């Protein structure tokens, strides 16, 4: 009988113990106790970039600042190379990735994603001389056609899926990928909007958009360590609130449809 009582006591206490253990591992609890939200990101124009004073600005930066403000904590931005950003999150170098990261099944096996706070739309920038006669994705899906993309980006995912026969060259940053197209070593550069539009505006004599891409729309979410449902709950509801208030829409329109912010960043 004593053993039965002990077993019943353990069964009653265990759920509370497990619940407290789970909360002890909650990132959002650690953030609130620390008073600082650490955000990992990488530079993508106009998601995140440096202005003329060396300060980070962009859509992601606005999102991170607003989130920290609403949580009532300080913001610590942690610039991180894109190819190492998920391992850095898992190593607890920061609390969350807010960096234009597309939600994919492969990534979801490693991290948990929030509900989308934005969507990636693809665009293409082509060299007028090299790609003047190419009018469709089918035309570009050819081994003789060289396409430049940023490694690990939505553009890279798009190229792998829709241009499997093309020769795809991967770069760690956008600048050398774009330069590949400007020099004529590549036919085109595939990237999230609005970067291709901005590059065409700067180089109208060399670059053009051969067609609009309507085949791809990628959800963008915050990434957190797996199993952290307490943090996911807070972030999910914050995103839904920002959608409902129109704040995310207003910020997206400013950064992705406007041009005023270009005066804030260094010129070529």
- Based on the domain organization, do 194 and 138 belong to the same domain? yes
What is the structure's pLDDT at 89?
97
pLDDT band at 9 (very low <50, low <70, confident <90, very high): very low
5 located within any domain: no
134 located within any domain: yes
pLDDT band at 22 (very low <50, low <70, confident <90, very high): very low
Q: What is the CATH number of the domain that holds 63?
A: 3.40.190.10
4 located within any domain: no
- Looking at the structure of the chain, the number of domains it has is 2
CA–CA separation, 26 and 20 (whole Å): 10
pLDDT-wise least confident of 29-38, 60-69, 83-92, 193-202: 193-202
15 located within any domain: no
What is the structure's pLDDT at 14?
52
Q: Is the pLDDT of residue 115 over 70?
A: yes
Residue 167 buriedness (CB in 10 A; 0-12 / 13-18 / 19+) = middle
- Based on the domain organization, do 50 and 63 belong to the same domain? yes
Over pLDDT 70: what percentage of the chain?
90
CA–CA separation, 238 and 71 (whole Å): 10
- Based on the domain organization, do 210 and 236 belong to the same domain? no
List C-alpha distances in Å: 151 to 4, 78, 190, 208: 59, 20, 11, 22
- Based on the domain organization, do 82 and 132 belong to the same domain? no
Q: Is the pLDDT of residue 71 over 90?
A: yes
What is the structure's pLDDT at 193?
80
pLDDT digits (tens, 9 = 90+) for 195-240: 888 888 889 999 999 988 876 788 999 999 999 999 999 999 999 9
Query: Which residue range is the domain that position 163 belongs to?
Result: 121-216
pLDDT band at 10 (very low <50, low <70, confident <90, very high): very low
pLDDT-wise least confident of 34-43, 126-135, 197-206: 197-206
CA–CA separation, 119 and 111 (whole Å): 19
Average pLDDT for residues 86-90, to the nearest whole number? 97
CB 86 within 8 A of CB 223: yes
13 located within any domain: no
- Based on the domain organization, do 187 and 126 belong to the same domain? yes
What is the structure's pLDDT at 230?
96
179 located within any domain: yes
- Based on the domain organization, do 178 and 242 belong to the same domain? no
What is the structure's pLDDT at 266?
87
CA–CA separation, 265 and 211 (whole Å): 28
The end-to-end CA distance of the chain, in Å, is 82
CB 177 within 8 A of CB 124: no
pLDDT-wise least confident of 30-34, 108-112, 155-159, 182-186: 155-159
Q: Is the pLDDT of residue 15 over 80?
A: no
- Based on the domain organization, do 42 and 86 belong to the same domain? yes
Mean pLDDT over all residues of the chain? 88
- Based on the domain organization, do 125 and 203 belong to the same domain? yes
pLDDT band at 5 (very low <50, low <70, confident <90, very high): very low
- Based on the domain organization, do 113 and 127 belong to the same domain? no
18 located within any domain: no
């Amino acid at each position: 009988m004593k053993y039965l009582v002990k077993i019943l006591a353990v069964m009653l206490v265990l759920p509370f113990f497990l619940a407290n253990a789970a909360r002890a591992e909650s990132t959002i609890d650690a953030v609130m106790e620390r008073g600082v939200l650490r955000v990992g990101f990488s530079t993508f124009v106009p998601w995140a970039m440096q202005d003329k004073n060396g300060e980070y600005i962009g859509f992601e930066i606005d999102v991170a600042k607003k989130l920290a403000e609403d949580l009532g904590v300080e913001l610590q931005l942690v610039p991180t190379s894109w190819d190492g950003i998920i391992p850095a999150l898992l190593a607890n170098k920061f609390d969350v990735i807010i960096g234009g990261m597309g939600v994919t099944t492969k990534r979801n096996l490693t991290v948990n994603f929030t509900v989308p706070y934005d969507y990636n739309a693809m665009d293409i920038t082509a060299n007028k001389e090299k790609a003047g006669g190419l009018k469709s994705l089918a035309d570009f899906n050819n081994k003789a056609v060289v396409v430049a993309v940023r490694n690990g980006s939505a553009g890279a995912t798009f190229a792998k899926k829709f241009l499997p026969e093309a020769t795809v060259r991967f770069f760690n940053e956008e600048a050398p990928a774009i330069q590949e197209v400007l020099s004529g070593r590549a036919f085109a550069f595939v990237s999230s909007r609005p970067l291709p539009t901005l590059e065409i505006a700067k180089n109208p004599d060399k670059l053009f958009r051969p067609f609009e891409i309507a085949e791809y729309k990628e959800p963008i979410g915050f990434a957190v360590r797996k199993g952290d449902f307490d943090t996911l709950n807070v972030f999910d509801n914050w995103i839904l609130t920002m959608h409902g208030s129109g704040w995310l829409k207003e910020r997206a329109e400013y950064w992705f449809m406007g041009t005023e912010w270009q005066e804030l960043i260094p010129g070529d």
